[in-house]
Structure 1
Amino acid sequence: MSFSKEYKTTSFLSENIELEGNLYIKGGIRVDGKIKGILKSDSTIFIGEKAEIEAEITARSLISNGKINGKIVAQDTVKLNKPGMMNGEIYTCNIGIEKDVNFNGRCQILAPQNNGKPKTPKPKKPRKPISNRD
């Protein structure tokens, strides 16, 4: 089975392409180049081994073998594979991190909503201090 059929990718950003800005994709995409900005897809984003991403990423699923600095929000799954690196935040319903992958940051597992999108947590309100009574 070919890569594009297996991961249902419809677009490709090759290794020699550098993009700065916002990229919105209908369907899946394989990225082997460099992206700085925002990357959004309604399907799977595959980050190749030579890719370097500094972005806020939103997708149904993300599979990464490359370097990512930023934030990932995935409705279904995030998979971090060797020799990949991730620095930043991950919000997803399911995560898989292969042995020896370098992950620095924070991961929050979200409960799926009825519409399939993860339920993003609401910010916590600061607690009121307790006054001292003598």
Structure 2
Amino acid sequence: MLIENVSEFDADGWRWPHFTPAELACRCGGRFCAGEYWHAPDFLDALEALRTDAGHPLVINSGHRCAVWNTYVGGVRFSLHRSIAVDISLAGHDRHVLLAAAERKGFTGFGLGKTFLHLDRRPRPARWFYPGSDASWRT
């Protein structure tokens, strides 16, 4: 469900203690939207379960993106960030442990970056390396 302005989202009953709508909303800073947020409880359940398994914070570098922001940051035309996906910072995490935990939690889209892990829940599983990141995932 698309919320056009995260500040208008009614967070009553919010059950994901380690995340906020604001950190998952578009980060264009009001340049292209009013802070769009895509609310997907099943996705958030999986993300919260992943955070619990990780045992320490998951820093979200990017969540939902409005169409213009997605283009501006170099996202692909049909990026799942246009609905709900996250890029999680790998700082403080073992990348392979985090990836394996995400697979167990039902994520199906895995973008392997040097400093981040992209996660989404696409219908058909996919895994890819971002340019120049493959070596960091082979160690």
TM range, normalised to the smaller chain?
under 0.3
TM, length-normalised to structure 2? 0.26
Question: Which one has a larger percent strand, Structure 1 or Structure 2?
Answer: 1
Of the two, which has the highest radius of gyration?
A: 1
Higher normalized helix content (fraction of residues): 2
